[in-house]
Amino acid sequence: MNGIGITTQDFLLFLPTLTLTLLGLGVLILGLIFPRIYRETMAAVVLIGIAIAVFIIVNHNWSDKALIFNGMISVDKFSHGFAVVFMIAAGLTVLLSLNSLEGSSLLVSEYFALIIFATVGMNLMAASAHLLTLFLGVETLSVSLYILAGFRRTDKFSLEASFKYFLLGAFASAFLLYGIALVYGSVGSAKLSAIAEAISGANGSAIASPGLFTAGLVLMVVGFGFKIALAPFHAWAPDVYEGSPTPIAAFMATGSKAAGFAALMRVVIASGMMSNIDWQQVMWVIALATMTIGNIVALRQENVKRMLAYSSIAHAGYILVGVLANSELGSSAVLFYLLSYTFMNLGAFGVIAFMARGERDNITLQDLRGFAYRHPLIAVAMSIFMFSLAGIPLTAGFISKFYVFLAAVQSGYLWIVILGVINSMISLYYYLGVVVQMFMHRNEEEKPAFDPLPAVALALFIAAFGTLNLGVSPARWMEIFQDLARSVM
Amino acid sequence: MLNNLPLLTLLIFTPVAGAVLVSLIPREYPNLMRTLALAFSLLAFVISLPLFFGFDNQLTSFQFEERAEWIPALRATYHVGVDGISLLMLVLTTFLTPLVILSSWDNIKRSVKGYLVSMLMLECGMLGVFVALDLLLFYVFWEAMLIPMYFIIGVWGGERRIYAAVKFFIYTMLGSLLMLVAILFIYFYYGRVTGTLTFDFVQIRELLFPENYQTWLFLAFALSFAIKVPMFPFHTWLPDAHVEAPTGGSVILAGVLLKMGTYGFLRFCLPLFPNAAMAFTPLISVLAIIGIIYGAWVAMVQPDIKKLVAYSSVSHLGFVMLGIFTLNHQGLQGGLMQMVNHGLSTGALFLIVGMIYERRHTRLIADFGGLARQMPIFTTFFMIATLASIGLPGLNGFIGEFLVLLGTFLSNKWYAVFAATGVIFAAVYMLWMFQRVMFGKLDKEENAKLEDLSTREIMILAPVTAMMILIGVWAQPFLAKMETSVDYLIRNVQARAAKVNDAPGLAPYVASIPPLKGVKGVSLVSSTVPENLESTDLMNDEMNLNAHPVSKNTPRAPLKGGVCCGGAQSIPPLRGVRGVSLASALEHENFESKDLMNDEMNSIGYPVSKNTPRAPLKGGVDEENGGSL
């Protein structure tokens, strides 16, 4: 293939993401034609579109590596494994959003379209075979999220969140882009495969300037660190999550984080940086700092959304341990963790979104008091999510932590695992706190109980079912993810 | 016949089925829920009976074994089985649960459904812990069981229930998380040495770890178990949890949950890390004795009956630990017996305290006095339970304590002397409490109106009391159940501990170990363990046909004696197990699944798996396959 050969085959292979893009445009147009369309109708359209994209992915036999669009995009098993995670996150977010959108019926189509475009950006990040594609993906995702974070235009916290996210996001993008430029300068190509070749010295290629290359990698890692909210680049996350509409915060914490990890892993694998002892040390310090800071600060949070934000930082630390392991087992553990995390975290945020219905979005631990006696089933679901986030067996959270730690022990990081379980121990306290409030305190004042919307109930059911299913019989998913990981390692 | 039914699986999941059904009943029908929960817990008890009576006392191997794939990608299996150590715990669990459900018939009034579902799920978790033979499966049950107990204490408990529930949960987790790391370490260490990754306890226990690893691994496991027991100084969660828990929760906590700690020592710490176990014996024995005496002293000054019984648990469990770490026959059997006894007598005491609390809403000793005349039936039951707890001959407590002290005396006289004072203190605090509550003058107005036990309450206490008397006068059937397993365990530990120094890799621990299952011609090694040929053949068939691929790939421990003379080292290392797989292809070997396993193993990325020499195969296999080695 030479020069500018883009074939029909390329488009066919790109069909899942293409479907999403068309879906996003379609939703916008639909909103234009039928401005008074029901939220539910629009959500149904979106969900059907996402389902079609997932269906295409699941039913196509993807090869281990297929580069399309002149080697800019890699449609391999790895990218599609991630794409399924993103779309699950997007689908659940759409369901949960029906709750929060109640007041603002005007902008429904824009809201859904932005979620879809963000998902397209995530897909691009996971599928990037070229640093520019990666950057494009990051920007598509980020710009959509900046808007979504500020979607409640009348709420100054939402605007603050949006603005903060935008400033820091732009900052991070600049880091990333500068890093890409330096890497490009030292390798002579921004293709991930070219970088991998230069590293290994295959085909007579080499890195022109190792110093620049390393500097470029450092800057890129800083950029990713912002996006994933790794310590010490995590400070934006709690404010942004707190201010954003709850479903969007959930989407950021799950989908966006997963996409960041996908991109990070692409770079890590291509650059082989984890075989370098210096990088190993930097990464394990970051991983440890991320989980410790996240967990310790979460202990003191009264606001449940902020608590979940810090917990989400801590989880990024655990997941990073899987990246650190730098093995097939590690990569599949990361994927498994991200999928589990999508279910349990979206579920937890979903319960908050449900509780906040019609009121201010910020639920404190006090508001949870006696919740189990008003909504027993939802309280049970919330406990499942909390136990899962804490990593108690029979839930996805346990298996994923176990899996990540397994990979780390295999790669010789016994001490990190020990510190990781101690962290897990600390986190138990604040997750239990939620359960304590819901079940073990009786409510002094009777609050009116209201039924959840069917869509929200469905989303919570799916999330709870996913969490338990991955926790009890994870075998099938693990096999799939090991297969995916094998294709990239 | 019984081997054909998946009895253990049925047993574990009967309570789950009950819990699901109970949760479907609308909340307007609490009595229907209670009846259903009781029915299912009784059903579990009925299922456990054939296990008890069908258990072959002579076999050292696990019985009623079941294996199924669980997470093939990680080689975690659903592998369950019972031996003489877990059997009694299993039956104790199924015996106590219906009584507990019956005992909370009236006094749990709010959220009845949640309580019953928690209780049934708790039973499932406890049974799972006792039968799991896969380390990961064990861990899952071990931790998952915390959740229902946490709710039982935290939702239906007393004033300080939240503090107690959170403390209970966090303490227990604290220990078990390090155990998780140890399990991961074992997993990879076993993989490195043998080339096979597995969580299967039956395979892992044939590997001997180098001594320095043993120390760390033992500590990681022991911390988790010691907190659960609880051993001094990890006991502080126990009085809180006991006092705050509702009656049913206390009974289960004392009756079964605490035994999981001691069971863990027996099941995992001793056989897996024999050298470390021996090295830590003095420390653990001393801590156990401190626990015995300290528990007794603190119990003596408690104004609250329930707290008194809780501290007596610390003392009693000290005896169990002391017995286990004598590492001799009498001590171990006594320890095991004492586990059962404590479950019965302390369980009964908590039930009794619950009954009196329901009537008077106080548990302070000072609020009572002279109840004997008012409540004669109650007095009788209380008296028997008290005496059993003290260890009066003719009741169950005596058997256990006597054996423990006997075993301790054989291993270290001074330990026995100090421990024996615990028996005296026990008599002091129990009898003194009994006297202040039941005898004397009936001087409190409220106590004059107390009613004696209802029929339901008699139905609860009668079975426990009957068992206490039965074990007291006729302990033989129960001791016989555990005899062979205890014997096997002790010999195993001693033989392996002697071998550690020349064991850098897979343990060639062979000397004087009773025959591994399915091996002929070795029974001369242990004359006390007559080999049951018929059932070993059965085992073989099961092993070959039951289509568990891992078991075929798996190296067995080397064999001694007639089959391959001169010990294990002389067997050439087996590479890739090809020869065997060909031979066993004759026995309907499933090649496909085997290849899958191989691929997966590579995919796990265990670097040396291809080049590492496999451990020598067990004799039984090559013998049957015409010596394909």
Encoded tokens for B276: 């470390």
* pLDDT computed for residue A106 by the predictor: 57
With 80 as the cut, is the pLDDT of residue B285 above it? yes
pLDDT in tens, A153-202: 888 888 888 999 999 999 999 999 999 999 998 888 888 888 888 887 76
Residues from chain B that touch A428, judged by Cβ atoms under 8 A, are: 169-170, 173
Look up tokens 């090809």; give the residue.
B578
* Span A372-395, average pLDDT: 91
Say if B246 is an interface residue toward chain A (CB within 8 Å): no
Contact A440 B165 (CB under 8 A): yes
The average pLDDT across A19-28 equals 92
Considering only alpha carbons, which residue of chain A is nearest residue B113? A376
Q: What is the enclosing helix (H) or strand (E) of B69?
A: strand B63-71
Tell me the per-residue pLDDT of A208-264, one tens digit each, with 9 for 90 and over: 788 888 899 999 999 999 989 998 888 899 999 988 888 999 999 999 999 999 999
d(CA A486, CA B2): 44
User: ipTM score here?
Assistant: 0.91
| DSSP 8-state symbol, B25 | S
A67-68 and B76-82: which strand pairing? Answer: unpaired
Tell me phi and psi for residue B457, to 5 degrees.
-65, -35
pLDDT at position A211, please?
Answer: 86
Give yes or no for residue B531 having a pLDDT over 50. Answer: no
Mean pLDDT of B73-83: 89
How many Cβ atoms from other residues are within 10 Å of residue A211's Cβ? 10
Give mean pLDDT, residues A272-282. Answer: 84
Q: What DSSP assignment string belongs to B592-608? A: HHHHHHHHHHHHTT-TT
Using the beta-carbon criterion (under 8 Å), do B70 and A475 form an inter-chain contact? yes
For the cut 80, the answer to whether the pLDDT of residue B502 exceeds it is: no
For residue B136, the chain A residues in CB contact (below 8 A) are 402
Q: Percentage of residues in chain A with pLDDT exceeding 70?
A: 94
Chain A residues touching chain B at CB-CB below 8 Å? 327-329, 373, 376, 387, 392-394, 398, 402-403, 405-406, 409-410, 414, 417-418, 421-422, 424-425, 428-429, 432, 435-436, 439-441, 473-475, 478-479, 482-483, 486
> CA of A80, closest CA in chain B: separation in Å?
20
Distances (CA, A) of B388 to A40, A190, B257, B423, B469: 67, 79, 20, 12, 9
Cα B382 from Cα B374, distance rounded (Å): 13
Q: Rounded to the nearest 10 degrees, what angle do helices A454-472 and A77-100 cross at?
A: 140
DSSP state of B369: -
The Cα A338–Cα A319 span in angstroms is 8
CA dihedral B15, B18, B24, B30 (to 10 degrees): -110
Predicted confidence (pLDDT) per residue in B448-491, tens digit: 778 888 888 899 999 999 999 999 888 888 888 888 888 888 88
Q: Chain A contacts of B249, Cβ < 8 Å?
A: none
Residue A269, pLDDT above cutoff 50: yes
DSSP B115-174: HHHHHHHHHHHHHHHHHB-BHHHHHHHHHHTHHHHHHHHHHH--TTHHHHHHHHHHHHHH
Share of chain B above pLDDT 70, in %: 79
Instruction: Report pLDDT for B513.
Output: 32
- Residue A373, number of CB atoms within 10 A of its CB: 17
CB contact under 8 A, A392 and B143: yes
Which residue of B23, B153, B162 is the best one to mutate when testing the A interface, meaning the one whose CB has the most A CBs within 10 A?
A: B162
In chain A, residues with a C-beta closer than 8 Å to the C-beta of B188 are 409-410
pLDDT 10s digits, B13-47: 999 999 999 989 888 888 898 999 999 999 999 99
Residue of A425, A439, A479 lying closest to B73 (CB–CB): A479
pLDDT for the residue numbered B620: 39
Count of CB contacts below 8 A, A vs B? Answer: 102
Give the model's pLDDT for residue B71.
87
What is the structure's pLDDT at B127? 93
- A394–B187: do the CB atoms touch at under 8 Å? no
What is the reported pLDDT for B548? Answer: 40
Rounded to the nearest angstrom, the gap between the alpha carbon of residue B600 and the centroid of all alpha carbons in its chain is 33
pLDDT digits 0-9 by tens, B46-60: 999 988 888 888 888
Higher pLDDT, B499 or A58: A58
Q: Which two tokens stand for residue B624?
A: 């049957």
What pLDDT is stored for residue A444 in this prediction?
Answer: 59
Nearest to A353 by CA among A444, A457, A258: A457
- Is B386 in a helix, a strand, or coil? helix
Question: What's the mean pLDDT when you consider all of chain A?
Answer: 87
Contact B154 A439 (CB under 8 A): yes
Position A207 pLDDT exceeds 80? no
Read off the pLDDT band of B263 (50, 70, 90): very high
Token pair belonging to B178: 């390090």
pLDDT at A337: 94
B607, with CB counted inside 10 A (0-12, 13-18, 19+), is exposed
The distance from CA A36 to its chain's CA centroid, rounded to whole angstroms, is 32
Rg (Cα) of chain A, in Å, rounded?
21
Q: State the average pLDDT over residues B192-221.
A: 88
Residues of chain A with Cβ-Cβ distance to B173 below 8 Å are: 425, 428
Residue from B187, B224, B603 whose CB has the most chain A CBs within 10 Å, to mutate: B603
Residue A140's identity, in one-letter code, is T
Between residues B200 and A487, which one has the greater pLDDT? B200
Give which of A404, A401, A394, A469 is closest to B137, Cα–Cα: A394
State phi, psi for A181 to the nearest 5 degrees. -60, -45
CB atoms within 10 A of CB B604: 21
Is residue B278 pLDDT above 50, yes or no? Answer: yes
Cβ pair B177:A421 closer than 8 A? yes
Chain A residues in contact with B114 (beta carbon < 8 A):
376
The string of pLDDT tens digits covering residues B571-607 is 333 343 333 333 333 334 343 444 444 444 444 444 4
Residues of B in contact with A473 (CB under 8 A): 70-71
pLDDT tens-digit readout, A394-453: 899 999 999 999 999 888 888 899 999 999 989 999 999 899 988 888 765 666 667 778
Q: How far is it, in rounded angstroms, from Cα B442 to Cα B459? A: 27
Whose CA is closest to B98, among B51, B35, B147? B35
Structure tokens at B336: 């095991």
Measured between CB atoms, which of B71, B146, B188 is closest to A409? B188
Name every residue whose Cβ is closer than 8 Å to that of residue A156 and which is 6 or more positions away in sequence. Answer: none
Residues from chain B that touch A329, judged by Cβ atoms under 8 A, are 604-605
Q: Tell me the pLDDT band of A102, cut-offs 50, 70 and 90.
A: low
B548 dihedral zone (left: phi>0; alpha: psi -120 to 50; beta)? beta
SS3 of chain A: the string is: CCCCCCCHHHHHHCHHHHHHHHHHHHHHHHHHHCCCCCHHHHHHHHHHHHHHHHHHHHHCCCCCCCEECCCCEECCHHHHHHHHHHHHHHHHHHHHHHHHHHHCHHHHHHHHHHHHHHHHHHHHHHHECEHHHHHHHHHHHHHHHHHHHCCCCCCHHHHHHHHHHHHHHHHHHHHHHHHHHHHHHHHCCCEHHHHHHHHHCHHHCCCCCHHHHHHHHHHHHHHHHHHHCCCCCCCHHHHHHHHCCHHHHHHHHHHHHHHHHHHHHHHHHHHCHHHCHHHHHHHHHHHHHHHHHHHHHHHCCCEHHHHHHHHHHHHHHHHHHHHHHCCHHHHHHHHHHHHHHHHHHHHHHHHHHHHCCCCCCCCEHHHHCCHHHHCHHHHHHHHHHHHHHHCCCCCHHHHHHHHHHHHHHHCCCHHHHHHHHHHHHHHHHHHHHHHHHHHHCCCCCCCCCCCCCHHHHHHHHHHHHHHHHHHHCCHHHHHHHHHHHHHHC
* pLDDT, position A14: 85
Q: How far apart are CA B112 and CA A412, in angstroms?
A: 49
Report the DSSP beta bridge partners of residue B304.
B364
Residue pair A424/A388 in contact by the 8 Å Cβ criterion: no
Write down the pLDDT at residue B453.
86
Residues of chain A contacting residue B139, judged by C-beta atoms under 8 Å apart: 393
Q: What is the pLDDT of residue A443?
A: 66
CA-based nearest distance A310→chain B, Å: 20
pTM reported for the whole predicted model: 0.85
> Are A393 and B139 in contact (CB < 8 Å)?
yes
Over residues A290-314, mean pLDDT: 92
Among candidates B144, B166, B604 on the partner chain, residue whose Cβ is nearest the Cβ of A432 = B166
More confident residue, A5 or B496: B496
Better-scored residue on pLDDT, B267 or A210: B267
Q: Which pLDDT belongs to residue B500? A: 58
Grouping H, G, I as helix, E, B as strand and the rest as coil, residue B505 is coil
The residue behind tokens 């059993």 is: B388
Q: What is the dihedral of CA B5, B256, B245, B433, to 10 degrees?
A: 140
Which chain B residues are closer than 8 Å to A416 by Cβ? none
Average pLDDT over residues B243-258: 90
Residue at A26: amino acid letter:
G
Mean pLDDT, chain B, rounded, equals 78
A421–B72 C-beta distance less than 8 A: no
Model pLDDT, residue B90: 92
Tell me the C-alpha to C-alpha distance, in Å, between residue B34 and each of A28, A314, B104: 56, 42, 9
**Residues 74 through 133 of chain B touching chain A, CB cutoff 8 Å:** 74, 111, 114
| Between B61 and A220, the higher pLDDT residue | A220
**DSSP sequence for B97-118:** HHHHHHHTTTT--SSHHHHHHH
Closest CA to A340 of A83, A85, A57, A120: A85
Of A422, A436, A473, the CB nearest to B154: A436
Contacts of B174 in chain A (CB under 8 A): 425
